[in-house]
Amino acid sequence: MLLTSYRLGNLILPNRLVMAPMTRARATVDGSPVASTATYYAQRATAGLIVTEGTHPNEVGQAGPFMPGIHNAAQVAAWRVVTDAVHANGGRIFAQLMHGGRIGHVEVAGHEPVAPSAIAARTDVFLPSGVVPAPVPRALSVGEIREQAQAFGDAARRAVEAGFDGVELHGANGYLIQQFLSSSANLRTDSYGGSINGRIRFAVEAAEAAVDAIGADRVGIRLSPGGQVQDIVENEMPSLYAALLKALPDMAYIHVLATVDDEVLMGLRKAWPTAFILNPGGQIGPNESTREQGERWLANGADLISYGRAYLGNPDLVERFRLGLPLVSTDRETWFQTEAGYVDHPSYQH
């Protein structure tokens, strides 16, 4: 089933493999993708769908150094080179919109990080010079929260201007949207916190802003229910995500990481009316997901399967799965910033 076609919104995907978003940290200092970024994504254009690395929708949303943005004309123009290259190779590509929230630093973004509450994540953040403990963020006012939600809509418009086929909101892995969902990062007592309905409100408003900007068929959201990356705790997790899926606007898909047991994942599948993308890798770890894992989840009701690490060393992953060829593993030291390990992984040589 992985190699069969699928209709996603207005797109016909030639197969059910999705290249998952992965931070590569190779943009310019001012957040523009570079020429090799176009090569990198174009090499992987046989994927049914590519979702880019996390791309900040505004300046304050930048989570780390050398991460791309999509909030000014120069960035839009640089992304247009990337999308043109992917489309020339027959591919389809969504931009992942990722607001770091409290995962960030003034030395990186030029702005103090913002969050639902003034609570530092018990984790490190990256600077150009190395890692430091995450700082205490500034709690957003209600008016500012609405501005940050609208930033996803504004960025979605710019993404379409840059030639993207759509956008994915990053609601997973401890960034701003999940910070609002979290019972440990969000201690607000107003309409954006406290109850489940309060905690899901920002995610819903961000999704509504993107859908209003570019249409439901072009918008998805990534979620990691119960995931604990970057110091996240989610009380009442099954009820939280059941309420979230019910409240989200019509969208092309949800993209769920296997961060919780199969029973909860199956419940989310049954509750969601459109495409369900499953990433079997779950929490960040050392191993590539397999074709067998993907086929199992397609049999269990998923529509598409996303692969992250497997795409780093295997730009021709679709062909390797089709022919039963071995996969190349990559060295973690080359995942970020280095010149090596980016566009120098060849297709399989017979």
Which residues are marked as active site? 175
97, two tokens: 């919109």
Whole-angstrom distance, CA of residue 221 vs CA of residue 171: 6
Residue 104 one-letter amino acid: G
Q: Tokens for 90?
A: 């027959």
- Do residues 186 and 117 lie in contact, with contact meaning Cβ atoms separated by under 8 Å? yes
User: What gap in Å lies between CA 278 and CA 255, rounded to an integer?
Assistant: 6
Q: Which distant-in-sequence residues (6+ apart) come within 8 Å of 43 by Cβ?
A: 315, 343, 345
Is the sign of the CA dihedral 17, 317, 286, 125 positive or negative?
negative
Residue 221 phi/psi, 5° resolution?
A: -145, 140
Q: Which residues neighbour 4 within 8 Å (Cβ) at sequence distance 6 or greater?
A: 15, 16
Q: In one letter, which amino acid is 8?
A: L
293 burial type by CB count under 10 A (0-12 exposed, 13-18 middle, 19+ buried) = middle
- State how far the Cα of 132 lies from the Cα of 106, in Å rounded to an integer: 12
- Distance (Å) of CA 331 to CA 213, 287, 315, 334, 338: 39, 11, 15, 6, 11
Query: Any residues with CB less than 8 A from the CB of 171 and at least 6 apart, and which?
Result: 177, 178, 181, 203, 221, 222, 223, 224
